[in-house]
Structure 1
Amino acid sequence: MALTATGIGSGLDISNIVSVLVNAEKQPKEALFTKKETQLNAKVSAMGTLKSGLSNFQDAIKKLQSGELLNSRIVSTGDSAFFTAKADQYAQPGNYSVEVEQLALSHKVAGANVADPTLAVGQGSLDLSVNGTSFSVAIDPADSLSAIASKINNASDNSGVTATVIKSDAGSRLVFTANDSGTDNQVSVSAVDSSGTGLSDMFNGANLETLQSAANSIIYVDGQKLTSQSNTIDDAITGVSLSLTKADIGATSTLSIKQDTDSVKKNIEGFVEAYNTLISSIDKLSSYDVDKDKASALQGDSIIRSLESQLRKTVSERVSVDGVESALYELGISTDNEGKLKIDDTRLTDAVNNNMSLVEGVFSTSDTGLAYKFDELAKSYTKSGGVIDNRNNSYTEETKRLTDQREVFSAKMEQLQSRLLKQFNAMDLIVAQLNQQSSGLADRLNSLPGVVRA
């Protein structure tokens, strides 16, 4: 007799028994899987935190790599409408009187006016020259003023001329403008007709009118005259670029240049703050909580130990500045008992105000400056294929292995459950058969002669 439900023969709750036995086998292993997964996730998150901290540190030290940023200048022109100015790290602080006598102008010439600019002009070529460099464009019989302008502007060998169609009450005409200002950049136009005289009638001789003569800019710096082809003057004052905007003979403006010590000091303080924040993050990621008996995600990790060691080594390194070995402590920056940096404000202020060559040398000397060394160290961890990337790849592989182990173990538990159900069901069937045999035997014994029933 076959059973249609488990436990009928024996009266046992076979499904529950099997579930309890399987769970007893499964739960310790599942707990181990979960623990490993939690640890891996915590390590991945910790690596993300470390990488972010290093990136913020890099942002701070990049401001100390460039001499231009570290040794910046404050430029003031008062309320002058005659020029604007920029200064790099080579500009010497001081005050300068500046007078703009004349602005540089571009040479402009124009052809004769025509009533209808859409009509063809003629056939042949236009030869143009600027500052001794010539080029030529072929003019087709159907070319209008706009077509001619387009050919000139798009010519691959255009030596510095822009052609534009200008309309006025007198009609429309083609205007040729030198791209660069100054008397060196005179525009020359010559027409050659291959049919008729249309081009010559428009562009040759008296038909070519000068609309604006080329002119050089003229300025006076502290009474010293300087003539330039351009309105942008970079050689009047060392490290200073002047952009002329308006001329007025006799109108003098004052250009003031100061060293931006506040920005320099702020950038150095930003570096110290970023370094200390990074050290705090490293300490937190690698700490051990005695009260909770719990280790942080990267406690004892070789990456953390190596990074912290390299950071502290770099902090103490000396840099050659003008042949003299110098270090951070000469700028008033030292290390406290916790491995963090602290600033002696008096010494730092004195260095920034009176010894910028030392400040610049310690931080931004090419390759050997501390800003470069810190950046290279951080980059070795944060770059693609760097230390953190490689560690995260190993975490990814470990996660994949853990997933595979889970799948294998899950299949094993399903097999265990199936095997136990078969075994218990087989036992249940045997018990049912024995019960049937016992009942049948009792019935036969009771039917024997002489049996007395109670």
Structure 2
Amino acid sequence: MTIQSLGVGSGLALDDLVTQLLNAERAPKEARLKDKEEKIQSEISALGQIKSKLSDFKDSVDKLRKDSDINGREPTITNPTEDKEVFTAEASGSALRGTYKVAITQLASGSRIETADAVYTSGTDKVLTDGAGDTTMTFKINGSTDETFTIDVKQNMTLAQLREAINKNENNFGVNANIIDTGTAAGAKLVFTSDVTGFGKDLVIVNDGDRGELEKLATTNSAESLTYLSPVKPAQDALATVDGILVRSDTNTFENTIQNVSFEATEESPFDTNGTTRLESTLEIGFDRKGLESKVRDFVDNYNKIIKDIKTLTRYGSSELEDDGALAGDSMLRGISSSLAGVVGSSVDKSTLGSLFGMGIELTSDGKLEIGDLDYGLGSGQDRLEKALEENFDDIAKLFTDEDQGIATRLYEITKEYTSYSGLLTLRERSAKDDKDQLQDERESFETRMFNYEQILRDRYLNLDQTVARLNQTGSALLASLGQY
């Protein structure tokens, strides 16, 4: 039914009346829907906020619930001179603690080959002019079948063009060609360097077509039975001494020379004043104190963020001027807070530290954790933390990782119970989102009812409008008739 304009016939303000009646009917119901929507949206937002903070906290306790994560190893290097960083080192969690004296006596390097003196005058000299057509040259590493590539050598190709063909070959495994113009009678020299390091791994350049002119550029013929150029610098291993024992590697990285430790040589150790003895660096493999301290502080910070948010979201306003939290009095959030506090305040029998307090982490009166500055006769929180990190690594591990009482172990299970796909917070979120979807259906149903109600009102007042219009017409006719007499 078409909504019609009312009051045209009667002259009455029926449209205004219908609007007022509709507003009177709509306002309270719409206000209830709006309040309900705001409450649901606030709940969804608050649950998402808590879930996010709880997930961050779960990640931080996850880094503390495994013994291998806490008992990580950290290499410390002391070099003989501050201006030289001779090597870097890494250690796995299973590396044994210890101190080693290390000296780098030789860096690994690849081979270097140069053309002979006075063979070429400049980069524009041609390398192949015999008229016998194009050929190829193959580059490879002695004793290797993996590292190899071949280039085309064309008639009248210049030294510079040959250089570019080598350097731009898509299969080049690390050969660099360059032209050195000596400015002397030696003329221009083509220099080949290889990135492949290790004793015996010299660059081999094969004159595939056994062309006479290319013997100036190759190390051997196609049968590899002849020798033309030889490396001016052969490939070599890296050499080092560890506690006086000579060790070697075909790269500058020494893997497991010290078990579960790797170190990479960056430069040779400096000589002592006698000019022959290398000065040793000290490599100490110890506990990763800084790494663990960072994990502990992240644990404290993330715990406090959760407690702060739970208090904000569940609080009741202290006056009419202060709004309640989005989840005021919510039992689930109070349960989370209570469960977390119960764990962080508990004792662990297998650790001599006893509890978090023993390593400097205190539970404050407002339910948060802190590494305090106050001294209770046992040292400040910071003092106890430093002492635990220095002397009680194993007991810190037990405090957090014990299978039955470990603080991180238990906290991880609690947070997982709430934040996993089927966790309590996730289910609560889904329920709130379902309520939001249902509210949308209610809105649509409400709008339909209001539309129908408007039709009813308009139909009702349309009849009134038409009746009054007819009465007005009758009255006008009567007055007109009476006026004739």
Measured against the shorter chain, the TM-score band is 0.7 to 0.9
**Amino acid in the other structure paired with 2:202:** Q
Match of 1:451 in 2: none
Residue 289 of structure 1 aligns to a residue in which SS? coil
Match of 2:267 in 1: 245
The answer on whether the counterparts of 2:148 and 2:171 sit within 8 Å (CA) in structure 1 is: no
Q: 1:22-41 to 2 correspondence within 5 Å?
A: 22-41=22-41
The alpha carbon displacement at 1:420 in A equals 1.8
CA distance 1:165–1:438, shift in 2 (3 Å): closer
Residue 246 of structure 1 aligns to a residue in which SS? coil
Tell me, in whole angstroms, the C-alpha distance in 2 between the residues paired with 1:107 and 1:16. Answer: 98
More deviation, 58-67/42-51? 58-67
Task: State the TM-score, normalizing by the size of structure 2.
Answer: 0.70
Match of 1:92 in 2: 97
1:208-228 Cα shifts (integer Å, max 9, x gaps) = 131212333333445444444
The answer on whether the counterparts of 2:418 and 2:425 sit within 8 Å (CA) in structure 1 is: yes
The answer on whether the counterparts of 1:123 and 1:199 sit within 8 Å (CA) in structure 2 is: no
The alpha carbon displacement at 1:299 in A equals 3.7
Match of 1:158 in 2: none
Q: 1:115-194 to 2 correspondence within 5 Å?
A: 116=124, 119-120=127-128, 123=135, 126=138, 128-131=140-143, 133=145, 140=152, 142=154, 145-146=162-163, 149=166, 154=171, 162-169=174-181, 170-173=187-190, 175=192, 177-180=194-197, 182-193=198-209
State yes or no: 1:420 paired with 2:437: no
Tell me, in whole angstroms, the C-alpha distance in 2 between the residues paired with 1:402 and 1:12. Answer: 38
**Amino acid in the other structure paired with 2:97:** Q
Tell me, in whole angstroms, the C-alpha distance in 2 between the residues paired with 1:366 and 1:140. Answer: 67
Q: 1:406-445 to 2 correspondence within 5 Å?
A: 406-434=443-471
The alpha carbon displacement at 1:285 in A equals 1.7
**Amino acid in the other structure paired with 1:193:** G
The alpha carbon displacement at 1:388 in A equals 5.2
Match of 1:304 in 2: 333
CA distance 1:138–1:72, shift in 2 (3 Å): closer
Tell me, in whole angstroms, the C-alpha distance in 2 between the residues paired with 1:219 and 1:376. Answer: 48
**Amino acid in the other structure paired with 2:69:** G
- Length, aligned pairs only: 435
Tell me, in whole angstroms, the C-alpha distance in 2 between the residues paired with 1:117 and 1:62. Answer: 67
State yes or no: 1:215 paired with 2:275: no
The answer on whether the counterparts of 2:353 and 2:395 sit within 8 Å (CA) in structure 1 is: no
The alpha carbon displacement at 1:34 in A equals 0.8
The answer on whether the counterparts of 2:269 and 2:280 sit within 8 Å (CA) in structure 1 is: no
Match of 2:282 in 1: 255
Match of 1:268 in 2: 296
1:202 to 206, 217, 225: 217
**Contiguous gaps of at least 5 residues in structure 2:** 182-186, 221-225, 273-277, 372-379
The alpha carbon displacement at 1:31 in A equals 0.8
Match of 2:108 in 1: 104
CA distance 1:312–1:137, shift in 2 (3 Å): same
The answer on whether the counterparts of 2:151 and 2:166 sit within 8 Å (CA) in structure 1 is: no
The answer on whether the counterparts of 1:123 and 1:140 sit within 8 Å (CA) in structure 2 is: yes
Residue 212 of structure 1 aligns to a residue in which SS? coil
Q: 1:367-382 to 2 correspondence within 5 Å?
A: 371=408, 374=411, 378=415
| Structure with greater strand percent | 1
CA distance 1:320–1:111, shift in 2 (3 Å): farther
More deviation, 182-191/38-47? 182-191
More deviation, 57-66/312-321? 312-321
1:285-318 Cα shifts (integer Å, max 9, x gaps) = 2233364496532345565356446535654788
CA distance 1:392–1:81, shift in 2 (3 Å): same
Tell me, in whole angstroms, the C-alpha distance in 2 between the residues paired with 1:303 and 1:130. Answer: 70
The answer on whether the counterparts of 2:115 and 2:189 sit within 8 Å (CA) in structure 1 is: no
Residue 239 of structure 2 aligns to a residue in which SS? strand
More deviation, 163-172/386-395? 386-395
CA distance 1:74–1:280, shift in 2 (3 Å): farther
CA distance 1:289–1:61, shift in 2 (3 Å): same
